[in-house]
Amino acid sequence: MVGIIYYGYSDLPYARFFFLTLTTVLGTISMITTWNPKFKSAEWRPYRAAIFVAFGLSALCPIGYGFARFEFQEAVRRCGFWYVLMEGVGYISGALLYALRIPERFSPGKFDIFGHSHQFFHVLVVISAFSHFKGLVQSYTYSHIRSTLTNTL
């Protein structure tokens, strides 16, 4: 979200600073959770998944602010909303599949090599990353178009 926040709020420095700080803090918590051996155990798996879901849902803060501050279409273009929405759905779906151990919980041993929840999680992360990239490109493009129009008027 850093790039999308940077370009989406390039003309609003205080909002940009606030949302970049929020993203940095929550990203750091997610990183610590990933690296801390305590969270690698099976009993902490749901908590680790919840932290990743919370980090993903934090994207709603700058997007919600955009919808409150601007008209719908303006907010959609500023933040690449539809791409960010697809990104969020992918990340959350992957985290839920991983935390709930779907599908291997229903057929133990059958999905040990292919079709494991962790594999689905990673596929969804890659798809979500591509969706994020598309949203970033939209935000970047709109920021530069907006900047060009403002400077020529």
**For residue range 11-51, what is the model confidence (pLDDT) as tens digits?**
999 999 999 999 999 999 989 988 888 888 888 878 887 88
Mean pLDDT of 105-126: 92
> Is 132 labeled as ligand-binding?
no
**pLDDT tier at 56, thresholds 50, 70, 90:** confident
What is the structure's pLDDT at 88? 86
Give the CA diameter of the chain: 66
**Closest to 39 measured CA to CA, from 8, 3, 103, 31:** 31
144 is in an annotated binding site: no
Residues with Cβ < 8 Å from 88, sequence gap 6 or more? Answer: 56, 57, 59, 60, 128
The pLDDT assigned to 152 comes to 64
Non-local CB neighbours of 127 within 8 Å, separated by 6+ positions: 90
Residue 87 · residue 60 · CB < 8 Å: no
pLDDT band at 127 (very low <50, low <70, confident <90, very high): very high
Residue with tokens 């940009």: 16
Whether the per-residue pLDDT at 87 is higher than 60: the answer is yes
What pLDDT is stored for residue 153 in this prediction? 54
All residues at 6 or more sequence positions from 124 whose CB lies less than 8 Å from its CB, including other chains: 90, 91, 93, 94, 97
Token digits of residue 84: 């960010």
pLDDT at 119 over 70: yes
Percentage of the chain lying above the pLDDT 90 cut: 64
Predicted local confidence at residue 142, as pLDDT: 93
- Structure tokens given for 43: 């009993």
What mean pLDDT comes out for the span 78-88? 92
Residue 96 contacts by C-beta under 8 Å, 6 or more apart in sequence?
Answer: 49, 53, 102
Q: Is the pLDDT of residue 151 over 80?
A: no
Q: What confidence score (pLDDT) does residue 7 get?
A: 94
For 21, half-sphere exposure in the C-beta direction (CA atoms, 13 angstrom radius) is 6
